[in-house]
């Protein structure tokens, strides 16, 4: 109940920013109550109240007519797979490989990922916050209502990435630009990729091709982050591996925005401004470590004192969500999976009334074989522009166990990144545990 009320409050405030006339109308109505509260002379009170009433009614009527006119001309329906291969050129020079999982597609560059462990990437935060483009701001109330149906999302702050990563910039430690935004703006921008949008023009429904406007360039390839007009909140996912080589996985609830009802990484979410504040070095890796440690503790209740050093292992852009940037990492947990401080896989870990209960149903453990010979991708595989996650063809996960019921995109991609890192450096986890 608390979550639903907080979500309703956040949505009302967000929509009110777009439909400000309603605020003026409500204020006018409240102002009309002043005469009765202040006991003004009857003549003055009548004039005062009448003027406020007329103003409020006129403003409400005008804005209601405008709303009905705008919304009646638009049609929205969900797409099962927003980004499909066809005539559109999805590839880009910066991220030439697309990993296709059962639930979505992510563009990656293995050369970038190999530079991430031990990297030092400074960040600079822009002075201005993210604002929706005019056409999306007009559609924001409807987009938000569609995205929030059956869920209780809060409008918390997030951090968007405004710089494109490549292997050279990562290796050289070139600074990236970040920008503060909010979750609802992401719902009304990046998440609109999942919708087929049509608008009535001269009596005919005309497609509003969101992907061509906001996700891809005219000449093909992903829209660079530096010129993108979407929120592009930086996603953060981590694989927590116990001292007895069990991977902690979390089962998303049906209220989750992405991957509802699927198995997800040990900790996943979005970077927030507080994670940047926690990075004393002002480096992206440290901010990522702070963010995933927070998410991992919130979702699994594993004590932060048990966490080892977080290692960045992967970067990509999630095509089905407007090309939003995603970072992936691994962290050793200095406890065996059956330690009394570790969550039990047989029951819910969040109490009734807990906000986290809305997003995480329970946790489980999957046995890993970190010593299995993980093959390096062949030269032909590297030249291929589209493939399935490679971890499925290695001995990294001998038995899928609970993962048989469904794997989210972040978990698929994080395991793919880990498999590629282990192929290049089999001692990756041993190094992380020793540091």
Element (H, E) at 2: helix 2-18
Q: For residues 243 and 334, is the Cβ–Cβ distance under 8 A?
A: yes
With a CB cutoff of 8 Å and minimum separation 6, the contacts of 142 are: 71, 74, 76
- Reduce the DSSP state of residue 370 to 3 states and report it: coil
pLDDT tens digits for 74-100? 788 888 766 665 545 666 778 999 999
Whole-angstrom distance, CA of residue 292 vs CA of residue 235: 10
> 71 Cβ partners below 8 Å, 6+ apart?
142
Burial 2-41 (b: 16+ CB within 10 A, else e): ebeeebeebbeebbeebeebbeebeebbebbeebeeeeee
CB 95 within 8 Å of CB 110: no
3-state secondary structure at position 341 = coil
Rounded Cα–Cα distance for residues 135 and 131 (Å):
11
Digit-by-digit pLDDT tens for the chain (435 residues) are: 455 555 555 545 555 555 555 555 556 556 555 555 555 566 666 665 666 666 666 665 655 555 545 555 778 888 876 666 554 566 677 899 999 998 899 999 999 999 999 999 999 999 999 999 998 988 888 787 766 655 556 678 999 999 999 999 999 999 999 999 999 899 999 999 988 888 877 778 888 888 888 998 877 788 999 999 999 999 999 999 999 999 999 998 776 667 778 999 999 999 999 999 999 999 999 999 999 999 999 999 999 999 999 999 999 999 999 999 999 999 999 999 999 999 988 666 655 555 665 667 789 999 999 987 666 655 555 455 888 999 988 889 999 988 998 999 999 999 999 999 999 999 999 999 998
Q: Do residues 190 and 324 lie in contact, with contact meaning Cβ atoms separated by under 8 Å? A: yes
**pLDDT per position as a tens digit, 196-241:** 888 877 778 888 888 888 998 877 788 999 999 999 999 999 999 9
Between vectors from CA 413 to CA 360 and to CA 388, what angle results, nearest 5°?
Answer: 130
- Whether 132 and 140 have beta carbons less than 8 Å apart is answered as yes
Q: Where do the structural domains in the chain lie, given as residue ranges?
A: 2-66, 84-435
In angstroms, how far is the first alpha carbon of the chain from the final one? 44
Q: Could you say which DSSP state residue 397 is in?
A: S
C-alpha to C-alpha distances, 255 to 5, 229, 251, 301, nearest whole angstrom: 15, 27, 11, 20
């Amino acid at each position: 109940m608390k979550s639903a009320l907080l979500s309703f409050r956040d949505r009302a405030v967000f929509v009110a920013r777009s439909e400000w006339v309603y605020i003026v109308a409500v204020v006018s109505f409240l102002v009309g109550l002043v005469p009765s509260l202040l006991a003004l002379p009857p003549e003055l009170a009548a004039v005062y109240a009448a003027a406020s009433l007329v103003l409020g009614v006129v403003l409400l009527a005008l804005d209601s007519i405008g709303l009905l006119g705008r919304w009646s001309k638009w049609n929205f329906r969900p797409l099962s797979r927003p980004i499909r291969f066809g005539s559109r050129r999805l590839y880009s020079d910066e991220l030439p490989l697309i990993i296709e999982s059962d639930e979505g597609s992510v563009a990656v560059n293995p050369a970038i990922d190999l530079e991430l462990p031990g990297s030092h990437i400074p960040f600079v935060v822009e002075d201005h916050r993210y604002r929706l483009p005019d056409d999306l701001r007009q559609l924001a109330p409807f987009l938000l209502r569609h995205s929030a149906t059956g869920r209780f999302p809060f409008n918390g702050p997030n951090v968007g990435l405004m710089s494109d990563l490549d292997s050279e910039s990562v290796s050289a430690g070139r600074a990236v630009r970040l920008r503060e935004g909010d979750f609802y703006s992401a719902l009304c921008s990046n998440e609109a990729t999942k919708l087929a949008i049509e608008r009535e023009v001269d009596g005919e429904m005309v497609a509003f091709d969101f992907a061509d406007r906001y996700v891809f360039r005219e000449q093909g390839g992903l829209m660079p982050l530096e010129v993108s007009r979407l929120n592009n909140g930086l996603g953060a996912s981590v694989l927590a591996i116990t001292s007895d080589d069990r991977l902690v996985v979390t089962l998303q609830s049906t209220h989750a925005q992405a991957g509802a009802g699927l198995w997800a990484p040990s900790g996943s979410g979005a970077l927030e401004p507080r994670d940047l504040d926690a990075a004393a070095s002002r480096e992206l890796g440290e901010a990522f470590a702070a963010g995933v440690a927070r998410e991992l503790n919130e979702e699994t209740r594993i004590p932060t004192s048990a966490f080892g050093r977080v290692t960045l292992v992967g970067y990509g852009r999630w095509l089905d969500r407007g090309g939003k940037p995603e970072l992936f990492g691994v962290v050793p947990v200095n406890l065996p999976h059956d330690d009394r401080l570790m969550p039990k896989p047989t029951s819910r870990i969040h109490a009734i009334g807990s906000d986290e209960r809305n997003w995480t149903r329970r946790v489980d453990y999957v046995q890993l074989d970190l010593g299995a010979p993980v093959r390096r991708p062949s030269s032909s595989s590297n030249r291929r522009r589209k493939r399935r996650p490679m971890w499925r063809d290695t001995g990294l996960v001998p038995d899928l166990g609970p993962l048989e019921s469904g794997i989210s995109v972040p978990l698929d991609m994080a395991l793919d990144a880990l498999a590629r890192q282990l192929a290049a450096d089999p001692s990756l986890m041993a190094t992380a545990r020793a540091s």
